[in-house]
Amino acid sequence: MVRADARDNRARILAVARDALDKSDTVSLNQIAQDAGVGPGTLYRHFSSRDALVLAVYEDELQQLLGGVHQLLSSHPPRDALRLWTNDLVAAMLKKHALGEAVSQAAHQASADRSYGPIIAAITEFLDAGKATGAIRMDAHPADFLVLTGALWRAASNPDADPQRMLDLILDGLKPAGS
């Protein structure tokens, strides 16, 4: 049985850590604990190491992203919803890559492996919704789309590339032939 204060503390630590790590990936754990209003021991009770905290921050963000799929699909046409979601996904991936600098290679890889399935599932939802309305071609594959978005964030460091333009190109490619 998890106590309410424990749940609250965990959430508060995560929120503080997210802000702090955005500013600098070298903030001390004691500092984060203090800002979150808990003792250092409490932080360690929830996150046994720096890696664990950093990865939890990222996975928390990804979780929110995955949880927003239905909301997006219910308020936008499928391709628009996918565009909005993909922008957030790319932003999250860029951030993860930055965080990656402060995390061991192995833990980073393990986390990436864990995320793959859920991300594919989310993309599948968008594509299926689009296929149902005829906005997306029937032979569109989630894995292909994910690979292409990978190119998107890799291009973020290239001043000649415009991620938005590239995404439009990809989304156009998802239209059924002759529409």
Partner DNA sequence: ACCTGAACACCGTTCAAGT
Footprint of DNA (CB under 7 A): 1-3, 5-6, 9-10, 28-31, 37-42, 44-46, 49-50
Task: Determine the Cα–Cα distance for residues 92 and 68; give it in Å rounded to an integer.
Answer: 14
Tell me the one-letter amino acid at 10.
Answer: R
Of 40 and 176, CB closest to DNA: 40
Residue 114 CB, nearest approach to DNA (Å): 22
Residue 67 CB, nearest approach to DNA (Å): 23
Q: Which residues touch 167 (CB under 8 Å, ≥6 apart)?
A: 83, 86, 87, 149, 152
Q: Is the separation of the CB atoms in 130 and 82 below 8 Å?
A: yes
Of 49 and 75, CB closest to DNA: 49
**Residues 44, 35, 25, 86, Cα dihedral to 10°:** 100
At 72 the three-state DSSP class reads helix
Of 17 and 119, CB closest to DNA: 17
Residue 83 CB, nearest approach to DNA (Å): 39
Residue 69 CB, nearest approach to DNA (Å): 30
